[in-house]
A = this chain, B = another copy of it.
Amino acid sequence: MAKEFVKDVTAMEDDFAKWYTDVVTKAELVDYSSVRGSMIIRPYGYALWENVKEALDQRIKATGHENVYMPLFIPESLLTKEKDHIEGFAPEVAWVTHGGDEKLAERLVVRPTSEVLFCEHYSNIIHSYRDLPKLYNQWSNVVRWEKTTRPFLRTLEFLWQEGHTAHATAEEAQEETIRMLEEYAYICEEFLGIPVVKGQKTEKEKFAGADATYTIETLMHDGKALQSATSHNFGDGFAKAFNIQYLNKDGKQAYVHQTSWGFTTRVIGALIMVHGDNRGLVIPPRIAPTQVMIVPIAQHKEGVLDYAYALKNSLASSIRVGIDASDKKPGWKFNEYEMKGIPLRLEVGPKDIEAGQVVLARRDTGEKMTVAADRVKEVIHVLLETIQRDMFDKALEHREANTASVTSYEEFVTLFDGKNPGFVKAMWCGERACEDKIKEETSATSRCIPFEQESIGNTCVCCGKEATKLVYWAKAY
């Protein structure tokens, strides 16, 4: 019986991309519009983002950062001040050329990222070592002129936060870069229930204008990787391009050292592809807009709705609880809240009320249990924590089962020819030529040089020369 409800969702084994699109639309996370490549984030999708955002914003503030807001537009001349930066972004920016009826004297870019605006501002407000560090963050929309788009994963416009900091020393900038990467890892693992691999990007994959880029990489159900957040150490490159100098304690002019770090709506895509199943979304309790949905059974019978509402009110102080008292059939309600991935369903009908019990159903495992009514609050609290932990453990198990250590290039190529390649750990010589060759021949890219290095061999998996680093490779979104 259950099956007929989900007949509209393509099975992920049959067509993963189609499954993804089915889920994001049927769970009402997004809708399309006549704006190419952009998405409408619907109430349920936005509530999810608000919960993730709030959790991260608290961590950003707790680590001493302050929120600011920079302009949406960037004059062309400002964007081009740092050479690598403009080269990286020029192909993918939207240009404003007219205001009202007038052609502009200078074209404006719709921000793809705001480094240059922060740099200009910092050059105005930083004068002395007393002004350092500056620890700013911005929540905003950004635009990148992508050709192929997919909701959350790659869109013309997306929402994010971008942190931009300025420090007196290179050491402080490096500490900040890693600190914020760790915060991102914390949010992903503890709130989104997604295990991450932390590491450094290769020169080829680093951010335009950065000295070093760090990343958290996650593995999706289909064996592809998703770069889930990045943190960059800029050294003093931008400071020199924008003349951000300060008087140090010795009375000398010195350049600041800068970082930037970003976390986007893309993680909602990761959430879907790490936890979802063929019945729809599965949302970890800590970020679930609704943690428990009450579905009254035989609600037309006397006392059922009163009982259900009283139960809702008794839970509402510490649990995000909803109730569906509409005239839809319970089966349809079950289907809808499974599609939306609500962690727990609470059923209560006349027989339950008589027996002084309710039924709880876990979305993640499908497990159903009968609980005494006077213990329900306590049980739910424990269950929500259990579900949160179990979801992380299951995702970690999936990742470990789909991470291979490979030493021969033949095996490497064969793996990436397969349907669900996963992460491949392999040694690398450090040369760009091997990365290029691997990408050309397998479509895999270096995801990161993980902080946790192991030696699984002495030679580069591609060229056979001496290896310097273990690298995580994957096909990626």
Q: Beyond the given A72-B141, A110-B110, could you list 10 further A-B residue pairs with CB under 8 A, ordered by the A residue number? A: A33-B121, A35-B117, A40-B117, A42-B68, A43-B66, A72-B143, A93-B100, A94-B98, A95-B99, A96-B110
Q: Which of B43, B67, B97 contacts A98 (CB 8 A)?
A: B97
Report chain B residues within 8 Å CB of A43. 66-68, 136
Report chain B residues within 8 Å CB of A39. 71
A186: CB under 8 A from chain B? Answer: no
Per-residue CB contact flags for chain A residues 47-69 toward chain B (1 = under 8 Å, else 0) read 10110000000000000001111
Report chain B residues within 8 Å CB of A95. 96-99
A75: CB under 8 A from chain B? Answer: yes
Per-residue CB contact flags for chain A residues 111-133 toward chain B (1 = under 8 Å, else 0) read 00000010011001100000000
Cβ of A374 to closest chain B Cβ, rounded Å: 30
**Closest B residue, CB atoms, query A50:** B67
Report chain B residues within 8 Å CB of A75. 34-35
Q: Which of B31, B46, B78, B120 contacts A124 (CB 8 A)?
A: B31
**Given A34-B78, A40-B117: A46 touches B69 (CB 8 Å cut-off):** yes
On A, residues with C-beta under 8 Å from B are 31, 33-35, 38-43, 46-47, 49-50, 66-75, 77-78, 90-101, 108, 110, 117, 120-121, 124-125, 136, 140-141, 143, 145, 156-157, 159
Report chain B residues within 8 Å CB of A47. 66-67
Report chain B residues within 8 Å CB of A67. 43, 46-47, 50
Assembled-state Cα–Cα distance A48/B140 (Å): 17
8 tightest A-B contacts by CB? A38-B71, A43-B66, A99-B145, A41-B69, A95-B98, A35-B71, A97-B97, A100-B145
Subset of 28 A-B contacts with CB under 8 Å:
A31-B124, A34-B75, A34-B77, A34-B120, A35-B75, A35-B117, A38-B71, A40-B69, A41-B68, A42-B68, A43-B66, A43-B136, A47-B66, A49-B69, A50-B67, A72-B141, A72-B157, A73-B143, A73-B156, A90-B100, A91-B100, A94-B99, A95-B99, A96-B96, A96-B97, A97-B98, A100-B145, A140-B141
Assembled-state Cα–Cα distance A141/B110 (Å): 12
Cβ of A138 to closest chain B Cβ, rounded Å: 9
Assembled-state Cα–Cα distance A269/B42 (Å): 32
Assembled-state Cα–Cα distance A124/B32 (Å): 9
Cβ of A36 to closest chain B Cβ, rounded Å: 8
Q: Are A38's CB and B73's CB within 8 A?
A: yes
Assembled-state Cα–Cα distance A47/B65 (Å): 12
Q: Are A71's CB and B40's CB within 8 A?
A: yes
Assembled-state Cα–Cα distance A124/B34 (Å): 11
Cβ of A189 to closest chain B Cβ, rounded Å: 26
Assembled-state Cα–Cα distance A108/B145 (Å): 13
- Central interface residue in A73, A90, A97, A145, by most chain B CB within 10 Å: A73
**Closest B residue, CB atoms, query A289:** B66
Assembled-state Cα–Cα distance A136/B43 (Å): 8
Assembled-state Cα–Cα distance A405/B6 (Å): 68
Cβ of A133 to closest chain B Cβ, rounded Å: 13
Report chain B residues within 8 Å CB of A77. 34
